Amino acid sequence: MSEPVEKENKGQALKSVLNSLMVPALAIITATIVGGIVIAVVGGNPFAAYSGLLQGAFGSVKAISETAVWATPYIFAGLAVALAFKGGLFNIGGEGQLALGATTAAFVGYALPAWVGYEMPTIVLLPITIGAGIMVGFIWGAIPGALKAFTGAHEVINTIMMNYIALNIVSFLMNGPIKDKDPLNVIARSPLIAEGARIAPIFDNLRVHWGFVLALLAAAFVWWLLWKTTLGYEIRTVGANPDAAKYAGINVKKIMTFTMGLSGLLAGLAGTIEVTGLNYRHELGFSSGYGFDAIAIALLGKNHPGGVVMAAILFAAMRNGATRMQFLTQIPVDIISVIQALILLFIAADSIIRYIYRVRQSGEKVVLTRGWGG
């Protein structure tokens, strides 16, 4: 391939990426404007509210650290949903997969050293702890994948039902067999995991830990898997057209099962890293909402690993900055959920955005033709 042609192809690829980001960017802007109107209607100052939001999310080193802490499980869980979407599957079971991964990691992290009778080194105990958590997530994700592949049972219904099973299993364990037996403990949580099962913080006096770096590496790995490997090609082909994939010789049932398993693995990893890198134990209800926020993050990121990372950081910034916003303006933090819901609404119903901003789409090209209402 000649150099001019290669440069042209790279330019076209970059242009395609920028075009694909236009509608999500406009959706965020529109949701911010509508959210500001809501803030004004309830008697608040939108400019002060958003200023406080930015200060709380990025206004200091500690704020940036906390935003990264929030973003870590969002990235893993968002990747889980995005990977399933690429395979033509809808994984709503992230909540249960995450909780089971966290519970398993917490149990292995404190029980295994006690069972062997000595303090295990990090190089041994940490991989075992993480491996146990992601394996449970993989199995819990592969079950609805197999049901979909071999019986035709819809994965949306199955993953929703398996969420109930998983969360009730976790509730039983946290309130009974693996509850912290400390007499001073009155809540449903596990004992602290051993020192050897913990991921170290990146900086002293800050909570951001190496799990955030692992999340970024996971995003890079998912990108490589989907676009640079034969398995990734098969996943995308099955997601695009299962019948054509079967005609081409791809084992569709195997790919469906494995894709949902990988999705569950990533969700389980989100819970595992929260235990090993941040909380050092599992506490009932700590992950509530992560699995469902991940769906919005995957949609906002257009199911691309890079987009998922950016969307996860956006959601993390809103969650982390909400407290500062409330402190400065007395605006309820619930407004953040309203803005997130509006973003999802405008992404899902992108025809609204295209109408407002007169954005037309032709094939892969998205063009902003005229202004608001023009």
| Cβ-based neighbour number of residue 125 at 10 Å | 23
Q: How far apart, in whole angstroms, are the C-alpha atoms of residue 189 and residue 183?
A: 13
Burial class (CB in 10 A: 0-12, 13-18, 19+), 127: exposed
Residue 45 φ/ψ region, left for φ over 0, alpha for ψ in the -120 to 50 degree band, beta for the rest? beta
Instruction: Give, for all 374 residues of the chain, the pLDDT tens digit.
Output: 555 555 555 556 556 656 667 778 888 888 889 889 988 988 888 999 899 999 999 999 999 999 999 999 999 999 999 999 999 999 999 999 999 999 999 999 999 999 988 889 999 999 999 999 999 999 999 999 999 999 999 999 999 999 999 999 999 999 989 999 888 888 888 999 999 999 999 999 999 999 999 999 999 999 999 999 999 999 999 999 999 999 999 999 999 999 999 999 999 999 999 999 999 999 887 767 788 889 989 988 989 999 999 999 999 999 899 888 888 888 887 888 888 788 878 877 777 887 888 766 544 444 444 444 44
CB 345 within 8 A of CB 338: no
Q: What is the Cα–Cα distance from 347 to 110, expressed in whole angstroms?
A: 43
The whole-model pTM stands at: 0.89
Q: Specify whether the CB–CB gap between 65 and 209 falls below 8 A.
A: no
CB 144, CB 220: distance < 8 Å? no
Kindly report the CA angle at 100 between 97 and 101, in degrees rounded to 5?
A: 85
